[in-house]
Amino acid sequence: MLRTVRRGAVPLICGLAASAVLTQYATASPAPARPAAAHAAPAPAVQSADARHGGASDYWASQFQFDNNGTPWSTADFAAIKAKGIDRAELNMPWSKLEPARGTFDFSELDQELANATAAGVELVPIFWQSGWRGSPATFETDHEVTSTGATGVALAWWDQTEQNDYFTYVTQTVAHITHSPGYGGSFMDYGHLDAQWLDSPGEGGWAPADIAYFQTHWLPATYKTINAFNTKYKTAYTSFSQVPAALPGAPLDSVYQAFRQWSVQDTYDRLTAAVRKVSDGPLFYYFGGHISNAPQLGNLPDIFFELARKYHATVVEDAANSAGLSLLFGSLGRAYHVPVAQEWTVFGTDDQIPAEAADWLSSYAMTLPTGGGEDFFIHDGTDKDVIGYPIYTSWLPVLQKISGSYPTQPVAVYVDYSQARGNDNGGSLNNVENDITALWDGYQAGFAVVTSEELANHADSLSHYRAVLPMNGSDANVAAYQKAGGTVLSNGSQLPQYAPAYADLTSQHALQVVPATAFDHRSAAITLGEVNSNFGYTGSVTLHPNGLNLVKGSYHIVDALTGQVPAQKALSDGSVCVPVTMQSAQLDQWSILPGAAPAGTPVPATCPAAGGGATSITGTAGQSGGGLIFLSVGATGQGADGNLTQVTQDGQTAYQTWTSAQSGVTPANIYLQLDPSSAVAKASTVTAKVTYWSVAGQGFQVQYDSPGAPYFGGPTVAGSGTGSWQTATVTLTNAQFAELQNLSADLRLAVSDPTKPLYVSSVTLSTTG
């Protein structure tokens, strides 16, 4: 499984296999049902893959190690999770334990666990890892990947035919052995390094001798037929395919080898799944690890898995479901391909961030409806995330299990060009797409679709279904054809309201998210509210719009579904309903919007929606809480992080000190800060910043802040007098947007001029200028 940072800035990826991977990526920058026509009704509910194969209709699971420190999980262990509403236990399968020698299998412990799970009413779901997890690969496999940097990888060489055949045999033999057990709940198909396919460190995998040989002797001839055809296309002069290089990233012809790597994922997963389908008609699952930006490096093209899931009646499990941008994409893909989507949260945050991450993940569930396939908790193992996050998950399960209907759809789409992942060097960059979708939805909570170039190629959707399309990473031939046929191509997100109504308006962004599920008769809706900011609560209002919820015309009122109480609310002239809301960080709530006016005697707030306002000046002070501005990563000690801060006393004054590059192991050093989203400062485009810092010779900082299209916009630079004294610099930030798109969900950072020396800061104050 793959770690992800919390909501906001999404990294390339942070793997769990080795600290080197964590170091490599630590500083990386950062849904509606498809209508058949513009005004088509939402698609009918799609039965999940496991329901079609006789299992439970939804998937409420938690992941486990293969056994409990060498002892089979007991009936009591499984009964404990069953009592919490969990009906599936995923087991990380150790290939080396189950097949200690080639062709010799030992299923005794697995059989015991199946029997124990069956007795408790729980089904086991094996996760077949080829490489990267403890116990995998098998000890008799020795040919490993070579990365783009020339290092020996963790994963097995992808195209070593003996090893690939061995893995296929291991998976199919195991599934055949357990498929008829009443405790069998399906299997996860994985190949490569965990659920990230080509992930390895340093660099990405794919350059093992066996890979290059397959590329030259099989893929190139099958793809181009003759060397002359290849030469004509690429203006080369090779005399045989054996001369075509397995080009490294950035080298000439790198797009050719990238296309081969991506094809390898699709081909191998296809053949592996087909082989399993020959021995079992039980449920099948695909894990998607990583993020949108990873597709060129890791080969984790989402549409590959959705296309195969459609073919083999499988469920796709979205890792990192606490990324709204990723969840919106996967919800849209699930509806387009008619494939069930389950969600998983794999936390990367610190203990104090875990509750808000959990609220973010759990409140996103309705984004996948009507093709929602359930939830998966990673991992029930006694770690801090388990101790803190697992009770949140299990306490919210009864609510999740009652949600039905469909995420409300609107005939507008944002469009993602994924061609760069296929080796198109001219394709739009994928680096910021996920964050941009998140920021767009944060500011405009409406049921827009997320459509990919891969969807169009697979005939799962068409841009002609939409009134307007907003390209997220540049226009391609698909967008040009849509526009030529009369379609409306938008240039920025502010134009979306002209074509699709929002279903909810919030007083401020980046703290509260609202995710609806509209009933199939369009006369009511379930509304999940998640306070997803680990530093600040939400105080304001939520206004729900029946037209954006796809409800029939009429009057409506709100009931708190958890308590049955009717909160204070105000019916607006356009039929919308406004409710004052105060929620603490990481709080979850569930509403129902029901037909008819609120019951007599329901309090009516004097002002709703909440008037704009909030603090016009906010301050973060070292060693103090409150003030509306938070220093992030205080006390953090992770190697490879560029924002670790230590609290110290400098010349008698409490301050935060940045780590030097020698301490952190990375070149940049930054002080990251996050604003209270409810403050007037967070909504201002021009802000005055005052920074009190210790001035020493050769040390200073640049204020880099979140601006439209530039999360790290380079603002003013401060050098100071260098006299060894406390000084206060005042600078002006213009065209700010503060959408929490920097690392750690920060809004701005102080980028240290000389990271070999510490920077000391005692306070930062931000004020509106108007």
Confidence (pLDDT) at 613: 76
Contact 681, 675 (CB under 8 A): yes
Confidence (pLDDT) at 347: 73
Q: Could you confirm whether domain 504-595 is CATH 2.60.40.10?
A: no
Confidence (pLDDT) at 770: 62
Confidence (pLDDT) at 224: 98
Question: Residue ranges per domain, the chain?
Answer: 19-35+59-207+246-400, 504-595, 617-768
Confidence (pLDDT) at 465: 97
Domains 504-595 and 617-768 equal at CATH topology level = no
- Give every residue of the chain whose pLDDT is below 70, as ranges: 1-57, 348, 770
Confidence (pLDDT) at 30: 29
Confidence (pLDDT) at 202: 86
Burial of 457 (0-12, 13-18, 19+ CB in 10 A): middle
Residues 6+ apart with CB under 8 A from 58: 48, 372, 373, 374, 401
State the CB neighbour count (10 A cutoff) for residue 232: 11
Contact 303, 338 (CB under 8 A): no
Q: What DSSP string describes 486-549?
A: TPEEPSSGGGGGGTS--SEEESSSSSEEEEEEE-TTSS-EEEEEEE--SS--EEEEEEE-TTTT
Which residues does residue 156 pair with via DSSP β-bridges, in sequence order?
Answer: 144
Confidence (pLDDT) at 720: 79
CATH number belonging to domain 19-35+59-207+246-400 = 3.20.20.80
Q: What DSSP string describes 561-630?
A: TTT------EE-TTS-EEEEEEE-TT-EEEEEEEESPPPTT----SS-SPPS---SEEEEETT---SBEE
The CATH number of 617-768 is which of 1.20.1090.10, 3.90.1300.10, 2.60.120.1360, 3.40.50.300? 2.60.120.1360
Confidence (pLDDT) at 497: 94
